Chain A
Amino acid sequence: MTAPREARSPLGAALGLIGAVALVLGVAPVVQALTGGATPGWPPVLMTALGWVYTAAGLVAWSRRPTNRLGLIMVVGGFTLLASNLGQTHDAVLVALAAVLATVPLAVVVHLLHAFPSGRLTTVASVAVVVTGYLVCTVLQAPLFLFAAPPGPGRLLALAARPDLVRTGEAAQTAAGCAVLLATAGTLVGRARRATPAQRRVLGPLYAYGILAVPLIPLLANLRGRLGWLTPGTVGTLQLVVLAGIPVAFAFAVLRGGFARTGEIEELGAWLGTSSGARPALAVALARALGDDSLRLMFWVAERGEYVDASGRRVELPAAGSGRAAVEVELSGRRVGAIAYDSSLIADPKDVVVAGRVVAIAIDRERLTAELLTSKEAVKNSRARIVEAGDRERRRIARNLHDGLQVRLVLLAMEAQLVAKEADASPATQGAATALRIGIDEAAAELRALVHAVMPAALVERGLSAATEDLVDRVPLPTSLELGVTDGTLPPAVEGTAYFVVAEAIANALKHAGADELAVRLALVDGCLHIEVRDDGSGGASPLAGTGLRGLADRVDTLGGRFRIHSPAGAGTRIIAELPCE
């Protein structure tokens, strides 16, 4: 039989299945009891309800604290209760099973008491007492089902009717049971004494209830004969109520956030032990262990003296009076991070401190990741600033040349021309002045080319598509141009980078590719600028070959874009860049 598996929560599916089985097991005897026989109808119903309470409490504890075994123990208890209720049916095997398991639920309660809060038996003494408890409830139960009645149909286990043996057996079981309870009480008193006052407030009532409930159940049955007002019905009801309170109390104690320190630390320990692939995030594990979903981890970056979150972004410690508090986590005397939590959910910061200590190494490891992300972010930002500063500088230089030197050259050439045209100038002076003017004009032409290379006028005056068109106009080869962008809509850094990518790619194609045709394409796809420059030349271009393409790849990367070169030898070159425009 396979449990229906959900990819998301195999545990949830398995627990659901267990619950379904418990439902079916519980319904059968009820139906049997209500439909036939002379036995009163309601005790089996109550037994079923009790079994369901145990199972349900166990399943809740199990699902909320998957690594804590108390839930499992409670579910086992629930099933033994449901099984012992099968005595109501008319099936001989089930009746026999029910007879054997009749007192096992009491042993389960003893087990719960010893195993609280983690669900594990931590001392040899506890293991011995719990095992003894189970033996008392099974082996010493034997005389009761073997010798209570003569063998007969439907009585599989009955050997003979020997009331004397039954009485001896009962006495032995009661004595041994008392011994188990005394040993349990001794262990628990010791534990409660070692606990902190806060823990004792929960442990005290829980332990007292458990220790009193176990003897009370058989005792109630014995008292029936002596106290006249105790009817069999009242006794049964009282027993069931006392028993039903146990799993509810334990489940509540397990789930109550912030007290069961040992249990939570074991949770965290189990988390550390799981393989890293299946391990949920550290913050989630901590939140689950401490019972505060709003819990956040902060990582200390010492060199910047600030906290960052898991993605490397700067965060502040919660302010006083904000309803949140934080506990610093240290590893070998060095601050590694802090745990911020809801101070109304977790009243005692000590729990957070202890939990932090357990996972300090893990926090330190995540801190390194966060620190790396921080510095990566810082490097990325500084590179972007360098590119922007470079572009600003280019614009400033181009502007200064435009307003300064270029104007001066026009004026100087004008003056030279005026000298040449002066009426009283000698022909030699006129010739020299004209030559001077032409020389100045040539210098101005060189300056124009320089300014164009630094920051083209078309890019400053119009934008990327005008500048690209101007670029393509100057290409001496047939060049197709596809423009899918509107000038004035893109960020300046994107326009600048895109322009220089196209310019460098065209220059490269003209210089090295020996191409006959070029194609330039600019397109805006989903907020991303696609740039493609293609030639039909010799291919074999590599981004590492020249500083030009290498620098462009860096520039594109700085803006969070992608830069690719497809240049198989002999099959042309495609230079593709994608730049996000947000």
Chain B
Amino acid sequence: MRVVVGEDEALLRQGLTHVLEHAGYDVVGTAADASELLRHTAERAPDLVVTDIRMPPSHTDEGLVAALEIHRTRPETAIVLLSQHVQRRYATELLGERPARIGYLLKQRIADIPTFCADLERVCAGGTVLDPEVVALMLTRARRDDRALGGLTPRQSEVLALMAEGRTNAAIARRLTITEKAVVGHASHIYEVLGLPPSEDDHRRVLAVLRHLAR
């Protein structure tokens, strides 16, 4: 897997490169600003781009703007955005066009290296990954406006949150120490409550949940 890293903080750029190489990724380029990131991506055709949202020179959302452009022009490239702070609006923008091969995580999540690497793999495999904090924001908002969500049991709410984070049924079962069958049971109840059409495809169902929450 070829990776381009975008991060303006040199220490963190090195740390991230180290973690990625340790996990078996081939870091083919590192960028300290958004234009460099776009250039490296265009020249080196990576399978994955991991980038900070806030970058020089304006230190606003340049990384996000660059990521959205890569997402549009190179649909086969997986993208994971990192930020010191997450907000629902960015998640909505990222998931808006084509919710695949996209991840949005707090920078602090890098430290939990095994989980972080698993998230990268899911994104590279065509999935979506959202930070639990963003999912929590989406659920808070959805619960305010959608009474049906209030009817979920605490366990079903947990399953919904993990589904929205982009986790597979197996991962959810592991996390909640329940059987995968129980997860499927909770999931179908959740689809019913949200009025989503049943589907055999795990990924599609996750997308449907995300669309529902992000609207």
Residues of A within 8 A of B (CB): 399, 402-403, 406-407, 409-411, 413-414, 416-418, 421, 437, 440-441, 444-445, 448, 451-452, 456-458, 460-462, 466, 469-470, 473-479
List 29 A-B pairs, Cβ < 8 Å: A399-B59, A402-B84, A403-B9, A406-B107, A407-B12, A410-B108, A410-B110, A411-B15, A414-B110, A414-B111, A418-B113, A421-B114, A437-B111, A441-B108, A444-B108, A448-B85, A451-B85, A456-B85, A457-B84, A461-B60, A462-B60, A466-B87, A469-B88, A470-B88, A473-B87, A473-B137, A474-B140, A476-B144, A478-B144
Residue contact A440 to B111, C-beta cutoff 8 Å: yes
Q: How far is the CA of A409 from the CA of B110 in the complex (A)?
A: 11
Contacts of A414 in B (CB 8 A): 15, 19, 110-111, 113
Assess the B112–A441 pair: CB atoms within 8 A: yes
Residue ranges of B at the interface with A (Cβ–Cβ < 8 Å): 9, 11-12, 15, 19, 53-54, 59-61, 83-85, 87-89, 106-108, 110-114, 137, 140-141, 144-145
A-side interface mostly: helix
B84 and A448 contact, CB distance less than 8 A: yes
A436 to chain B, nearest CB (A): 10
B119 to chain A, nearest CB (A): 14
In the bound complex, residues from chain B placing their C-beta under 8 Å from that of A479 are: 144
Collect the chain B residues with CB atoms within 8 Å of residue A437's CB: 111-112
Give the 4 A-B CB pairs with smallest separation, nearest first: A413-B111, A457-B85, A461-B60, A461-B61
A448-B108, A470-B89, A473-B88 provided; 11 other pairs, C-beta below 8 A?
A407-B9, A407-B12, A410-B15, A411-B15, A413-B111, A414-B19, A417-B112, A448-B85, A457-B83, A461-B61, A462-B60
The contact of B111 among A441, A460, A476, by CB within 8 Å, is A441
B141 contact set on A, CB distance < 8 A: 473
Binding site of B, secondary structure by majority: helix, strand, loop or mixed? helix
Per the bound structure, the CA–CA distance linking A476 and B145 in Å amounts to 11
Contact present for A457 and B11 (CB under 8 Å): no
| Set of chain B residues within 8 Å of A478, measured between Cβ atoms | 144-145
B87 lies within 8 A of A458 (CB): yes
| A406-B84, A406-B107, A410-B108 as given contacts; A460 in contact with B60, CB under 8 Å | yes
- Give Cα A399–Cα B85 distance, bound, in whole angstroms: 12
With A413-B111, A445-B108, A451-B85 as known contacts, state yes or no: A402 contacts B54, CB within 8 Å.
yes
Q: Which residues from chain B contact A462 at a C-beta distance below 8 Å? A: 60-61, 89
Which A residue sits closest to B144, measured CB to CB?
A478
- Shortest Cβ distance from A465 into B: residue: B89
Contacts of B112 in A (CB 8 A): 413, 417, 437, 441
Query: A411 to B61, alpha carbons, bound, how many Å?
Result: 23
In the complex the two chains form, what is the Cα distance from A440 to B112 in whole Å?
Answer: 11
Q: Shortest beta-carbon distance, A522 to chain B, in Å?
A: 15
**Residues on A with beta carbons closer than 8 Å to the beta carbon of B110:** 410, 414
